[in-house]
Amino acid sequence: MPRKNERKPPVTITPVEYPEPEVDVYIEEIIYWEVLFPPAPPIVEPHFIKPNYKLEGIQKYKDGDYYAAFNDLNIAIEKDTNDYELYSYRGLVELKIKFFEEAKDDFTKYLEYFFYEPDGYFQRGLAEFYLNEKAEAREDFQIAADMGHKLAISILKRFY
């Protein structure tokens, strides 16, 4: 026991310094937390894919599904009557399914815009040839041949 007149030494509190925790501890805790409570998936708004009748019609023509291509190209032309490439593809489809009058009309519309395209004259010439319009077919084959279309040149040599 201390004596009566003796002073007590002053109490000093020294702060305890703890070492900094390693980063791996936090990463492990975060990974553990994410495993127990995974983050919610992001909210995805449903979106509807509008059919592209032009591309689908062209692809169906290339695949040989001519009637489906004809339907798709008709819808595409109804939506955009100024896309003259559609008339060319629909004309090609109509040649395949033997709608020669319609094919001739479509190639005529195509050539209103692409008058420098020899294949348009050649295809319209084929439609006219199958319709027994030999003089008009010869004119279109001649125009295509003058532009350098090789099949038109061979048809002119063979049939005219």
Q: What is the 3-state secondary structure (H, E, C) of the chain?
A: CCCCCCCCCCCCCCCCCCCCCCHHHHHHHHHHHHHHCCCCCCCCCCCCCCCCHHHHHHHHHHHCCHHHHHHHHHHHHHHCCCCHHHHHHHHHHHHHCCCHHHHHHHHHHHHHHCCCCHHHHHHHHHHHHHCCCHHHHHHHHHHHHHCCCHHHHHHHHHHC
Evaluated on CA atoms 90, 91, 95, 98, the torsion sign reads positive
Residue 24 lies in a domain: no
Residue 64 lies in a domain: yes
68 pLDDT higher than 90:
yes
Residue 136 lies in a domain: yes
Distance (Å, whole) CA 39 – CA 110? 56
Residue with tokens 């050539």: 111
Q: What's this model's pTM, rounded to 2 decimal places?
A: 0.67
The amino acid present at 108, given as its one-letter code, is T
Under the banding of pLDDT at 50, 70 and 90, the label for residue 20 is low
| Count of domains forming the chain | 1
Of 33-37, 59-63, 70-74, 149-153, the poorest mean pLDDT is in 33-37
Residue with tokens 């593809």: 89
Domain that holds residue 128: 53-159
Residue 46 lies in a domain: no
**What is the predicted pLDDT for the residue at 64?**
93
* pLDDT one-digit tens code per residue, 123-133: 999 999 999 99
Residue 84 lies in a domain: yes
Residue 117 lies in a domain: yes
Structure tokens at 41: 């998936």
Of 9-18, 19-28, 55-64, 144-153, the poorest mean pLDDT is in 19-28
* pLDDT one-digit tens code per residue, 39-61: 777 887 777 778 899 999 999 99
* pLDDT one-digit tens code per residue, 98-115: 999 999 999 999 999 988
Residue 23 lies in a domain: no
Looking up residue 137, the CATH number of its domain turns out to be 1.25.40.10
Under the banding of pLDDT at 50, 70 and 90, the label for residue 3 is low
Residue 14 lies in a domain: no
